[in-house]
Each structure stands twice: as C-alpha cells, then as structure tokens.
Chains A and B, each alone.
Chain A
Amino acid sequence: VTTGTGNPDEFDRQKTLLLSKVGDPGSGAVRYAAAMYFFNQKLLSCDVLEIYRRCCKFDNEDPVELAKFEKIEGFSPLSFNSGNRR
C-alpha cells in the first residue's frame, strides 16, 4: 500500500481520529482506520497497528492501555498524548 497523501490537513484529521474518545460508538474502527493511515506513513509499527486492530470492534477498549498491558515497545512514535483519551 502506498503511503498517504502527505496532506497536512489529512494528517491532522487522522490524528484527531486516532485520538477519538474511547467509548464513543464506532470509535474502535475509527481509531484502527486512522492507525492504518499512520502505519502507511511509517509512523506506526506493525505491532502497534495490531493493537488497534484488536480494539477495533470494542469501542470501550483503550488501545493505549492494551499496549501497556501487552508491554508493546515504542507505542507512541508520534508522541500522541494519551492523557485525555477518556
């Protein structure tokens, strides 16, 4: 798959979507789709993408917490702030 458009607006939009509020209806799929965008930008690893995939169908499942629980290295290559996720 080719990388994203490089469009800064799209980058920001996808970043917002990646940080969608945990618990919002459909947010699991939204976060996973955004994670795929950043994977294509080579800003997320396969392991991290996989965390988002596992959380995709569970809107209440916080990928950050799952990654911590699973001790996934380098979870936040974009330095996304996960402090206000809830």
Chain B
Amino acid sequence: MMNKNNRDIRVPAIWDRSGLPGWCYHSPALLELEKEHIFKTHWQIACHVSDVPEVGSFQTFDMCGERAIILRDSDRKVRAFHNICRHRGSRLVVKDNGICKNALVCPFHGWVYNLDGTLRGAARPDSFPELDKHKFGLRTIDFEIWNGFVFVRFKKGPQPAVKELLEPFAREAAGYNMADHVPVGELWHGQSPVNWKSVRDVDNEGYHVAMAHPALQDLYGATYADEPYVNGVSRSDGKFTQSSGRRWAVRNYKKMSKPQEHLPESLHRSWLYYGLFPNAVIAATPETILFYQEFPLSTAKSQLRSGIYRNPVEDRQQRASRYLANRIDRETVKEDIQLTIWSNESMASDSFEGFYLSDLEYGVRSHHDHLRAILPIYNVKQAPIEDDVKTLNTSLGNTGAQ
C-alpha cells in the first residue's frame, strides 16, 4: 500500500527490534569501511547556492579526509572541485568561505587556477615543462543541485541522482521555493563526543519527543509522525496543534507564524523533515529551510554541520516568527545532543544487550537496514577481531563494498 508520496511506509507486524550490535559504534576498522562505502560514495550536502552568491564566492566542505570547494565562476555558474592543488595537494582555500576575486591561489607554492578550475599557471613557470591548463586543472567532483542545495559525492556509489532520490517529495518541496532562499548566517559547525550513528539513531525517531523535547511537544505534539527510510529517503512531519502553547516561544510562534504568499496552505502550519541516507536532513518550516548532517571524526567523535536559510523578502512579523522557530530548534538540538551521548555510552557497556525498538522507532531500523545492505558486517553480533573486519565483510558478500 503506497502513501500519497508513492512510498510504502508500513511498519511490518513482526520485525527484529534490535539495533546494530554495540561493537559497531566503537570499531576503528568498521569506521574505515563506513568512510569509504557509506560516506564518500553517498551524496552529501555541501551548501546552498546562496552560500556562494557572487562571482568568486566559495564554500568549503571537508569530510572523512576529503575536501571540496563549491565555487561560483566568472559566468555565475556553480562548480564543485576537490580543494586540492594539483602540484602538492595543499588545500587551495583555507577559510570555510569567502571570495576569490580573480583566481584561486594555492597558499603553499602559489599555483594559480582560474575560477573555472583550469590552471592559469604554476609558480616559477620556468622550472616546469609546458603545463596543459586542463590536464593540470582542478579535479571536479560529482555534484548536483536540488532545490538550491548543492550535493557532492566524492566517489561513485549506489545512489541514483539526487533528483531521482528525492522524487517522492518533489511536489511538496517545490512549494517552499527553496532555491530562492538566502542564508541566515554562516554554516554552523559543532562536535559531539559520540559515534555518528548515535546521532542518527536519535534523529531517526520521534518516540522521544514527548519525553525530551517539551517545546516540540508543545508545538506539534501527537501529530508528529515518522516515515521510515525507503530507497534512501525518509520523511517526518508535525502539524501545529490547536492549543495556544504553554511555553513562551511556542505560544508566540504559533501566534505570529505568517507563511509566505507562495507557500501552499497545506504547509502553513507544519514542520517537515526529509531524511537522506546516510546522514543528512533537510527541514522546512513556514519561515525557514535548513539542513543538518553529521559525519565521523573518529569512532567517538562526530562533526555536526548545519545551515539555515530564509525567504529573501520577509516582513517584521515573519522575521520575528523565524527567530522564534529558530529558538525552538536550538533548544531541541541541545536536548538531542544529550540524548546521543546517553545512547552512545551504552554501546561501551558489556551489560547493554542492545535496542528493543518501538513501532514508533521503525525509522531507526530502516536506517540500519540501509547500512546492512551496504556493509553486511553490521549483521555480526559479536565484535570480530579488528584486523578481520574488512575481510569478514567481504566474505559475507554484499553489493556495496569490496
């Protein structure tokens, strides 16, 4: 049975309610497989086109040892390159964002690249043979723009194009005019002392909302619902409840929320979340769109990254309601970070026997199933010898990783 987005989101009557084995959350060998086969091979949100508004504007994106630069060239076209000089591999831009007014100049030896990525010239050109500007140009990265969000993929992988991946939500998402949004500020970066999967395990279910997120509960309460990951994407939404709101921010937000004229009425009083396997969410409220993502720095440390965007034109009331929405969201993020710490530390305990998930947490299971489909080693209940993890994974047979 398909829902309105043509997705089968039913929770099976009988399903394995255990999560991933605890060892999966602290195995360095598994983490290396995850970097190669989960992160580098899957689409990652690098930024929004509005983060690179002018000719020469750039935004960088570092992940799992790889680094990208998103750049607007002289023809105002958005491009994506590896942030790696073709000479010795130095990063070409060292800041998170900025403007290269004329060209990219490597800070190591001074090779110069045009904004279209071609090599303008090597420093001390008399010390080199003739260099072809294309052959020695910046290496491009597979990238795609979906509703203004710039996705990159460091290595070819099993996912289809982003447009195809997110097709089930295309019509709904179009209502927000996401591509026209502008940044509220610079991208936010944070670190959390947990394995990346603990971040996702918390974010993939709303069972904890009533207990852990009083503001969200006050905002949309029992209307909140999660759709599991199906073909790499999930969806959640909550609709504003009829109550006026007990908490100051929620009460005033519900009172002040004033959607843009272009937004369809069905989205006027909703918060929406589109999950993208393996590690990202695009969320939309009547006032803002945003993305957030996490990726591993080590088995026990994750990088958190997010960006918030607003409609380019807004009146005072809309600006105030955006502030209130952000205040509710900030509170929620802080609460979630604590939950991820509690969830993650359980994985180190010999006494913890694994999850026993509610039907309301089927999103967690569906995410784990996506992971298992790529790395069958996740099915191994007891921690293997670290040196055997890669070989064992290969011997278990899979389609995604060899």
Contacts and interface: CB of A to CB of B under 8 A. Distances in A.
Interface of A: 1-2, 14, 17, 26, 29-30, 32-34, 36-37, 39-40, 46, 49-50, 53, 56-57
B131 A1 contact: yes
A1 B120 contact: yes
Contacts of A29: 100-103, 105
Give the bracket for the number of chain B residues in contact with chain A: 20 to 34
Interface string B240-263: 000000000000000000000000
17 contacts: A1-B120, A1-B130, A2-B133, A14-B102, A26-B101, A29-B100, A29-B103, A32-B110, A33-B105, A36-B103, A36-B112, A36-B120, A39-B125, A46-B124, A46-B125, A46-B126, A53-B110
Contacts of A36: 103, 112, 120-121
Nearest to A13: B102
A2 B114 CA distance: 12
Interface string B111-128: 010000001111111100
A33 B133 contact: no
B354 interface: no
Contacts of A34: 102
* Most chain A CB atoms below 10 A, which of B99, B122, B123, B124: B123
A17 B101 contact: yes
A57 B131 CA distance: 24
Q: Among A33, A37, A40, A57, find the residue whose CB has the most chain B CB atoms closer than 10 A.
A: A33
A74 to B, nearest CB: 15
Given A36-B112, A46-B126, A56-B110, A1 B121 contact: yes
Q: Report whether over half of chain B's contact residues are helix, strand or loop; otherwise say mixed.
A: loop
A7 to B, nearest CB: 11
B107 interface: yes
A33 to B, nearest CB: 4
B110 A37 contact: no
A34 B114 CA distance: 10
B125 A1 contact: yes
A37 B122 CA distance: 11
B102 A17 contact: yes
Contacts of B122: 1
Nearest to A37: B120
A57 B121 contact: no
Nearest to A40: B121
A76 B102 CA distance: 21
